[in-house]
Amino acid sequence: MSQRAAKLIFWVGTLSSLALFLGMTWDTHRSFAALTHADRLDANVVAGKRAFEKYNCNDCHTILGFGAYYAPDLTRAYKRLGEDAIRLRIASPEKVLAGSYRKMPQQHVKPEEIDRLVDFLRWVSDIDNHDWPPQDSATRWKAATRRLIGGAAMSPGAALVAQENCLSCHALGDAGEHRGPRFEYIATRRDAAWITRYLADPEAMTPGAVMPAFGTLSESQRRSVAEFITSLADRSTP
Amino acid sequence: MNFKTQRVAYPYFVVALLLFALQLVMGLYIAFNYFYTVPQEVVNVFPFSTARAMHTNLLVLWLLLGFMGATYYTVPEETQSELAWPRVAYAQLILLTGTGVAALVGFFFGWTQGRPLLEIPTTLDVLVVIGALMFLANVAVTIFRARRFTAVQGTLLAGLVFLAAMYLFGMPFYENLAIDWYYWWWVIHLWVEGAWELVTAALMAFMMIQLTGVERKVVEKWLYVELGLFLFTGLAGTGHHYYWIAAPRYWLWVGGIFSALEPLPIAFMLIDTWRSMRHSSRPQPRLTWVYVIGMAVLHFVGAGLFGFAHTLPQINYYTHGSQVTVSHGHLAFFGAYVLLNLSFFYFAIPRLKGFPEGRYDERGGHWGFWLLSSGVVGMSLAMAVAGVLQTYLERVQGQPYIVAQSPIRFWMMIVFLHGFLVLGGALVVIKHLLTLRPAPAPGR
């Protein structure tokens, strides 16, 4: 190979890749507004991002898969855990994670900062990023739920979930709210015995829990609800 | 050493080596956190996040100080002239080291910009920029005064300007998280797979010319081809970080294809280095080649193969942001940039000390290399096992993060144990380098 050919490889290789990269950068900027729902990116969300950086959250957690890998990914934390569970973890990690083998620091985050962090995580959870991460994929959550719907109408647990209005706080499939954790997530995390006890007295199991006690339900009714929830654990697509 | 001002390189090497040791101590603490439950009271005061910010910033700081020292050694030799402002070079070292120490102390008290690897607060960023400008001006003025332009120093200067320019993209506050990460990668990716590769290629070419006596024209010709391949694959290859950040879908194609080609230039560098060694007409201490070849091999394995393993979007969907990334990151940084710096130190220090023909007493140095390298390789393999486990349990099966982490703790303990090999090896290397002696007279 001649010196000339070598220089040609250098310039053609570098400039073609650079042109492609800059061109796509320009086009990507045109797409960000729609893909991130920039219309919902208000001052509260920005304040939340500042708090997120102030407390160095990203050096333990990942978000969009980036950061440190020491704690759960936060991209869909709002959809997975819900607002109240997020608040509780930030405000009193020492209580929520008392039994956990991994701790989160108590950073004395101010109440208004917690509100903004929730705003930020709510906005992030709606970002359209080709359904990543897989463990929080809405498509996968809902696939299992849809499969269950036929049988669920017959299940006493499902009837109790409707009767007690659980979905005014929790999410299930396409329905429900994001105050508490999504049912499908609870199913992967807890067993029926644990949920049965939790329903009777949430405060006893998680100090500071916001959820009301369902002591009015009988032990067997609470077990039916628990069994309905744990039946959502299987997320394999049929 | 042919020029008096090359001597400014030495204090850069010393500071870099000391920070390297500190980085490894932090690394051990991080690995410890992964398998042992540190009590809440300790976590409140010194959380994982602070230790991690220190670990990564120390890495960047010492590698960059090493590069700067290496540049100050190289430029006089290449221009055949003294450095323009040796005193500015010392002042710059004091400024940057001081800024680094202030940043580390600041992290402990929660003074941070809170973005991984770019935690240094804006105030200190300004000092870093001033230090970088002092450095670039010094190098550029030396080159332009001498009016002797070579491909090696052209590449070196271009790489350093590129490096400094990309740092600026990491400084502002971005309101939109997706745009934030978009430009975060202009710093991180375009550094390690762009600017730093230019610096590496230039320093390697310089060492090869000096060590082997291979004709400059031949080395420079392959340098052009190598750089063309690096930048062709590396620039558009940035796309492999844009798969899941809310960027358009075409990044999956572009990122996948270009980054699949990224091992090629590294393989090319490996072959090139091997060939140069075989054609060498000048005998060198064995340890010099152990380092240079060790670097070329682990650069290829860590950055090339481990990177390729999870760069395709179909795989990356499941491995993204897991311990697989951690494994790749450690072996790639070690193979490419830690060993480059150490290779250069072994090349430059005996010459700075004026040992005849750059020959030195190798005893002890071999132990250091093998302890350090086997430690990092073992550690990266354990992280890779942890990563595959996490990928399967959390990403494929859908177990909650903390449940899936439980079996991983064992493998992170294996990482921790390898950490002692790494730290032990590094201490041997550092001691050997800082107390280097001339080669014993033959027949002794």
Q: How does residue A31 score in pLDDT terms, banded at 50, 70 and 90? A: very high
Contacts of A93 (CB under 8 A, 6+ apart): A103, A104, A105, A106
Size of interface A-B (CB pairs under 8 A): 228
As a whole number, the mean pLDDT across chain A is 92
In chain A, the percentage of residues whose pLDDT exceeds 90 is 77
Quote the minimal CA–CA distance from A86 to chain B in Å: 15
pLDDT band at A207 (very low <50, low <70, confident <90, very high): confident
Q: Do B48 and A128 touch (CB under 8 A)?
A: no
Is a pLDDT exceeding 90 seen at residue A152? no
Cβ-count burial of B267 within 10 angstroms (0-12 exposed, 13-18 middle, 19+ buried)? middle
Give SS3 for B442. Answer: coil
pLDDT digits (tens, 9 = 90+) for A121-134: 999 999 999 999 99
Instruction: Burial-class residue B283 by CB neighbours within 10 Å (0-12, 13-18, 19+).
Output: exposed
CA distance A6 to chain B (A): 5
Beta-carbon separation of A56 and B112 below 8 A: yes
B-interface mutation test, from A40, A49, A59, most B Cβ less than 10 A away: A59
Q: For B53, which of A3, A16, A56 is closest by C-beta distance?
A: A56
pLDDT (0 to 100) of residue A175? 85
Q: Which of A149-158, B73-82, B153-162, B199-208 has the lowest mean pLDDT?
A: A149-158
Residues of chain B contacting A106 with CB distance shorter than 8 Å = 40, 44
Q: What is the mean pLDDT of residues B116-143?
A: 96
User: Helix count (H) and strand count (E) of chain A?
Assistant: 12, 4
Neighbours of B56 (CB within 10 A): 22
Closest CB to B225 among A9, A16, A106: A9
What residues of B are in contact with residue A104 (Cβ under 8 Å)?
43, 47
Nearest by CB to residue B231, choosing from A13, A46, A69, is: A13
The fold adopted by the segment(s) A143-235 is: Cytochrome Bc1 Complex; Chain D, domain 2 (1.10.760)
Q: What is the pTM of this model?
A: 0.95
CB contact under 8 A, A32 and B238: no
Calpha distance B164→B170 (Å, rounded): 11
Neighbours of B289 (CB within 10 A): 15
Instruction: Please give the residue that has the higher pLDDT: either A223 or B440.
Output: A223
Whether residues A28 and B247 touch (CB distance < 8 A) is answered with yes
Long-range contacts of B349-352 (CB under 8 A, 24+ apart): B349/B10, B349/B13, B349/B433, B349/B436, B350/B436, B350/B438, B351/B1, B352/B1, B352/B6, B352/B7, B352/B9, B352/B10, B352/B73
- Partner residue facing B246 (CB), from A35, A104, A106: A35
pLDDT band per the 50, 70, 90 thresholds, residue A140 = confident
Q: Which residue has the tokens 């991460």?
A: A133
Total residue length of chain B: 444
User: Does residue A38 have a pLDDT over 60?
Assistant: yes
Write out the two tokens for A211.
Answer: 């959820």
Q: What pLDDT, in 10s, does the model give residues B4-45?
A: 999 999 999 999 999 999 999 999 999 999 999 999 999 999
Beta carbons of B255 and B313 less than 8 angstroms apart: yes
CATH topology of domain A38-128: Cytochrome Bc1 Complex; Chain D, domain 2 (1.10.760)
| B residues 36..95 contacting A (CB < 8 A) | 37-40, 43-44, 47-50, 52-53
* Residue owning tokens 């959250």: A57
> Would you place residue A153 in the very low, low, confident or very high pLDDT band (cuts 50, 70, 90)?
low
Task: Determine the residue type at B153.
Answer: Q
Give the residue from chain B lying closest to A131, CA to CA.
B244
What is the pLDDT confidence band of residue A147, given thresholds at 50, 70 and 90?
low
Report which of residues B74 and A146 the model is more confident about.
B74
Q: Is A191 on the interface with B (CB under 8 A)?
A: no
**At residue A150, does pLDDT exceed 70?**
no
Averaged pLDDT, B305-330: 97
Chain A touched by B440 (CB under 8 Å):
no
Distance from CA of B369 to the nearest CA of A (A): 29
pLDDT higher than threshold 90 for residue B415 = yes
Structure tokens at B278: 């075989």
- According to the model, what pLDDT value does residue B344 have? 98
Identify all chain A residues contacting B39, using CB atoms and an 8 Å cutoff. 103
pLDDT for res A121? 98
* Cα–Cα dist B52/B405, whole Å: 18
CA distance B412 to B420: 13
Question: Does the beta-carbon distance from B176 to A38 stay under 8 Å?
Answer: yes
Q: Where does the pLDDT of residue A162 fall: very low under 50, low under 70, confident under 90, or very high at 90 and above?
A: confident
Contact at CB, A132 and B244, closer than 8 angstroms:
yes
pLDDT above 50 for A168: yes
Q: B399 in contact with A at a CB cutoff of 8 Å?
A: yes
| Closest chain B C-alpha to A216 CA, distance in angstroms | 30
Residue B2: pLDDT above 60?
A: yes
Residue B148 Cα distances to B133, B143, B158, B275, angstroms: 22, 7, 16, 28
Cα–Cα distances (Å) from B157 to A44, A189, B10, in that order, read 44, 54, 20
C-alpha to C-alpha distance for B169 and B26, rounded to whole angstroms: 27
pLDDT band at A159 (very low <50, low <70, confident <90, very high): confident
**Averaged over B150-170, what is the pLDDT?**
96
Three-state SS sequence of A87-127: HHHHHCHHHHCCCCCCCCCCCCCCHHHHHHHHHHHHHHHCC
The closest of B195, B194, B226, B191 to B208, measured between CA atoms, is B226
Q: Which pLDDT tens digit goes with each residue over A209-223?
A: 899 999 899 999 999
Listing DSSP states for B43-61 in one string gives HHHS-HHHHHHHHHHHHHH
Measured CA to CA, the distance from residue B232 to residue A17 in angstroms comes to 5
Q: Does B178 touch chain A (CB under 8 A)?
A: yes
B398 interfacial to chain A (CB closer than 8 Å): yes
A21–B236 CB contact, under 8 Å: yes
B253-283 pLDDT, tens per residue? 999 999 999 999 999 999 999 999 998 888 8
Distance between CA A13 and CA B236 in Å, rounded? 11
Measured CA distances, B66 to A188, B18, B73, B220 (Å): 48, 11, 11, 23
Task: Flag if B395 and A106 touch (Cβ within 8 Å).
Answer: no
User: CA–CA separation, B203 vs B200, rounded Å?
Assistant: 5
- Backbone angle region of B155, left / alpha / beta, with phi > 0 → left and psi within -120 to 50 → alpha: alpha
- Please, which residues 202-221 of chain B have a Cβ atom closer than 8 Å to chain A? 217, 220-221
Contacts 24+ apart (CB under 8 A), A94-102: A94/B40, A94/B44, A95/A206, A95/A207, A95/A208, A96/A206, A96/A207, A96/A208, A98/A207, A100/B402, A101/B37, A101/B406, A101/B409, A102/A70, A102/A71, A102/B37, A102/B402, A102/B405
CB A157 within 8 A of CB A214: no
Cβ distance A28 to B251 less than 8 Å, yes or no, reads: yes
A139 contacts in chain B (CB < 8 Å): none
Tokens of A167: 């979905």
* Model confidence at A237: pLDDT above 70: no
Residue A236 has pLDDT above 70, yes or no: no
Confidence label for A238 from pLDDT (cuts 50, 70 and 90): very low
Confidence of residue A174 (pLDDT cuts 50, 70, 90): confident
Which pLDDT tens digit goes with each residue over B163-183? 999 999 999 999 999 999 999
Please give the Cα distance from B325 to A107 (Å, whole number): 28
What's the pLDDT at A154? 66
The rounded distance, in Å, linking the Cα atoms of A128 and A58 is 20
Asked if A6 contacts B224 with a C-beta cutoff of 8 angstroms, the reply is yes
| Closest CA relative to residue B118, chosen from B46, B64, B172, B198 | B172
Is B286 near chain A, with CB under 8 Å? Answer: no
- The amino acid occupying position B61 is L
B66-70, B101-105, B353-357, range with the lowest pLDDT: B353-357
Q: Is A57 close to B254, i.e. CB distance below 8 A?
A: no
Q: Measured between alpha carbons, how far is B427 from A170 in angstroms, rounded to an integer?
A: 54
B438, β-bridge pairs: B360
The pair of structure tokens assigned to A98 is: 């008392």
Closest to B342 (Cα-Cα) out of B275, B299, B292: B292
Report how far apart, in Å, the C-alpha atoms of A94 and of each of A105, A207, B42, B43, B102 are: 7, 10, 12, 10, 30
